[in-house]
Amino acid sequence: MRMISTLMVALLLSAAVQGSEELPLQVRPIGDRLLVISALTGNSTAVAINSEKGIVMIDAFWSPSIAREARATIEASFGRSGFVYVINTGPGLLSTGGNEAFSDATLVGHQAVREELIERADGLSPLLRDRRQEFEERVARARQRLATLDPRSDDAVETRRWMHLCERIANDFATGYRVTPPELTFSEHLTLDLGDLTAHLIHVGRAASGGDIVVHVPELSVVMLGDLFHYHHVLPLEDRPATGIEVPRWIEVLDGVLAGGAAVTHVIRANGKRIWSRHDLEERRRFIGDLWAEIESAERAGDGLQALLARLSRVEETFPYIAAWGLDPTIGTEIVRADIRRTASIVWRMTRQSAAYELEEVLRTSGIDAALARLGELPTTRGGYYFLEDEFNGAGYRLLGEGKVAEAIGLFRIAVERFPQSWNLHDSLGEGYMTAGERERAIESYQRSLELNPENENGRRMLEQLGYEE
């Protein structure tokens, strides 16, 4: 009877939310012990568990007012009050923004989450100003979009919901928002005794941040991945290569969760509405494992990063099973390629240094002859240097922007010798020569660029500007 009443309350609340553009949340019950709470717009998702010792919340949404609304919804759904734990799966606003709405509960997270939130509190005023401005700009864009839509259309309804959500978050940032770090922290693994349930908190190493964890509740066959897989992406997001990432640790943790046919039927992400199955998680584990194997194979073969990325970019050939995943059409193969490229590049950089950055600095301080001498000294084995076309191109343009035209030309020449089939580098070398007033050499470089890529409209325009006629 309790399960029926819980389901009914949750379904009624969900229906009420669906009927109101002001309310941002919807509720999906899984049995009578587990609720999945999602923003009606956007992709924020949290989990509530009804345990013998009290309610457990996994992630706390963006801001206190949304968290308070989630709390009221959860209490009504479970027919009880009293939160015993709030677990932060990472340090992001999506997971920790509403922490202060649960002052009666013990906040739990990885020690890196606590450290990051304490650091965030020290610089809170400018952060709140920036985040408030960010969400106010989203409100303004939503209003502009609404002016172009039929007020009764689905697009208009969705846009109004998004606008109300952003208004609420911006208002929270303007009215006394406080950073509330977790009190109970751990480094590798923590098990919470919930009476009739257990929650296993496992650090996944550096992924989207240094404090990402997964939460496994075996009695409910549920795994919460936090923001490990952003809804638009197929790999954990990490954009700080200097700090490194830990792909083997990702694999180890996912293997542990799936070990021995463990009961895993619901896999939930903080930044994704669709609930994954065990098969979905197994497929991601397979993908990460295959990616790591490709990286290790390139290491053994002595391949360069450019060759590795070229092979990995052939997604349909290297990872053919991705086609069966039924990814959201908004993701597309290009985002998959970008995820693979980013992860492989970061792993590569963890054990090597950039040849482009090294030669850029030598050119800046000592000139072309010293750079050429240094080029001959650069080791490319593990612990040495890697060569990446994009980095050479960017470094050359930095030198060009500083007025170091001869140095930029020198770096572009090194780059085209290393990557002779790169139409973009030949185009850049042409710009260097053009800036230096070396017309004939500029024409020669732009011609080569067009031979490699006849659709290079910039090269065609530059040749016209140089007065070249075929």
For residue 51, list its beta bridge partners: 54
How far is 262 from 281, CA to CA, in rounded Å? 12
Same domain, 246 and 108: yes
Mean pLDDT score of the chain: 87
pLDDT in tens, 346-368: 888 877 888 999 999 999 999 99
In a domain, 126, yes or no: no
For CA atoms 458, 459, 465, 470, the dihedral sign is negative
367 and 405 Cβ atoms separated by less than 8 Å: no
What's the confidence (pLDDT) of residue 243? 55
Rounded distance between C-alpha atoms, residue 392 and residue 268, angstroms? 41
Between 109 and 323, where is the model more confident? 109
Q: Looking at the predicted structure, is the pLDDT value of residue 131 above 60?
A: yes
pLDDT at 6 over 70: no
Which among 318, 350, 382 is the end of a domain? Answer: 350
pLDDT (mean) for 444-453: 94
- Which CATH number belongs to the domain containing residue 98 in this structure? 3.60.15.10
Kindly state whether residues 255 and 392 are assigned to the same domain.
no
Give the CATH number, domain containing residue 404: 1.25.40.10
Residue-level pLDDT at 10: 40
Whether 10 maps to a domain, the answer reads: yes
The answer on 269 and 299 residing in a single domain is no
* Token pair for 407: 């140095």
Q: Is 140 a member of any domain?
A: no
Please state which of the ranges 131-145, 196-210, 373-387, 454-468 shows the lowest mean pLDDT: 373-387
Residue 152 covered by a domain: no
Q: Which two tokens stand for residue 93?
A: 């606003």
Amino acid at 112: A
Region 324-349: what's the mean pLDDT? Answer: 81
Indicate the pLDDT class of residue 380, thresholds 50, 70 and 90: low
Whole-model pTM?
A: 0.78
Does the pLDDT value for residue 11 go beyond 50?
no
Least confident range of 245-259, 371-385, 396-410: 371-385
Q: How far apart are CA 97 and CA 134, in angstroms?
A: 15
Same domain, 249 and 395: no
110 and 222 share a domain?
A: yes
Q: Are residues 329 and 213 in the same domain?
A: no
* Number of domains composing the chain: 3
Boundary-marking domain end, from 234, 250, 276: 276
Domain that holds residue 433: 353-465
Full 3-state SS string of the chain: CHHHHHHHHHHHHHHHHHCCCCCCEEEEEECCCEEEEEECCCCEEEEEEEECCEEEEECCCCCHHHHHHHHHHHHHHHCCCCEEEEECCCCCHHHHCCHHHHCCCEEEEEHHHHHHHHHHHHCHHHHHHHHHHHHHHHHHHHHHHHCCCCCCCHHHHHHHHHHHHHHHHHHHHHCCCCCCCCCEEECCEEEEECCCCEEEEEECCCCCCCCCEEEEEHHHCEEECCCCCCCCCCCCCCCCHHHCCCHHHHHHHHHHHHHHHCCCCEEEECEEEEEECHHHHHHHHHHHHHHHHHHHHHHHHCCCHHHHHHHHCCHHHHCHHHHHHCCCCCCHHHHHHHHHHHHHHHHHHHCCEEHHHHHHHHHHHHCHHHHHHHHHHCCCCCCCEECCHHHHHHHHHHHHHCCCHHHHHHHHHHHHHHCCCCHHHHHHHHHHHHHHCCHHHHHHHHHHHHHHCCCCHHHHHHHHHCCCCC
The C-alpha atoms of residue 21 and residue 163 are separated, in whole angstroms, by 10
Residues 240 and 329 occupy one common structural domain: no
Decide if 298 is inside a domain: yes
C-alpha span between 413 and 405 (Å, rounded): 12
Same domain, 358 and 335: no
Q: What's the mean pLDDT in 382-398?
A: 87
Separation of alpha carbons 195 and 82, rounded Å: 15
Residue at 156 is within a domain: no
